Amino acid sequence: MRTSEIAPGLLLAMPQLDDPNFARAVVLMIQHNDQGSFGIVVNRPSDTPVIDVMSPLGMRWRGDPSAVLWVGGPVSPESGWLLHEPTDAIAGEGTVDVSEGIALSTSPEHFRKLVEKPPHRLRFYAGYAGWGAHQLEGELAQGAWLTADVTPKLIFDTPAERMWEVALRSLGIDPSALVPGVGVH
């Protein structure tokens, strides 16, 4: 597999991946190179309202009052990330276009602008998924992950509890046919 096929794209956790942080996880891969890999688990909503996170930061949430914080992964759970549809309100350093229709913002200035005037498609994440140099390639070779294409519809419009199944079906795979295993069978 060429590294260009991993990011941007999705990683779909397979049943044999023995890590509770990634059971049925869908990971949006942001970066993958010889130094390591970085992604955001996109199908783990928390029970924490966004408004409860923004208030202590001195930001007033003007979006959907029922919006929640999502768990982006087990690494640095105190870090914050915004996945959103691209918007003219922010650009430049602190925001990167991940793929068509999906941008990632990390800049506090961009956070403030997005909190004040949120685009329709916006999710707040805490933490991320990370791999050291060549670690992800080893996990892929062991069959712990499958790769798939990313779409804004899957990320923003698919219910979290269905995201893994929908992504697998996009590959022509019936999730009920998957069984834990390693190696070639």
Q: For 50-75, what is each residue's pLDDT tens digit? A: 999 998 888 899 999 999 999 999 99
Report the C-alpha gap between 163 and 110 in whole angstroms.
27
In a domain, 184, yes or no: no
CATH of the domain at 23: 3.40.1740.10
For residue 71, tell me if it sits in a domain.
Answer: yes
Whether residue 185 lies inside any domain: the answer is no
pLDDT over 70 (residue 19) = yes
In a domain, 163, yes or no: yes
Confidence of residue 183 (pLDDT cuts 50, 70, 90): low
**pLDDT surpasses 50 at 131:** yes
152 found inside a domain: yes
Closest to 104 (Cα-Cα) out of 174, 58, 162, 152: 152
Interacting residues of 162 by C-beta distance below 8 A, sequence separation 6+: none
String of DSSP letters for 65-130? TT-EEEE--SEEEEEEEEEE---TT--STTEEEEETTEEEE--HHHHHHHHHS--SSEEEEEEEEE
- Any domain includes 183: no
* Overall average pLDDT of the 132-155 stretch: 95
Residue 23 lies in a domain: yes
Q: Which domain holds residue 157?
A: 3-177
What's the domain count of the chain? 1
- Answering whether pTM is above 0.85, one says yes
In a domain, 158, yes or no: yes
Q: Is the pLDDT of residue 184 over 50?
A: no
Instruction: Say what the pLDDT of residue 76 is.
Output: 96
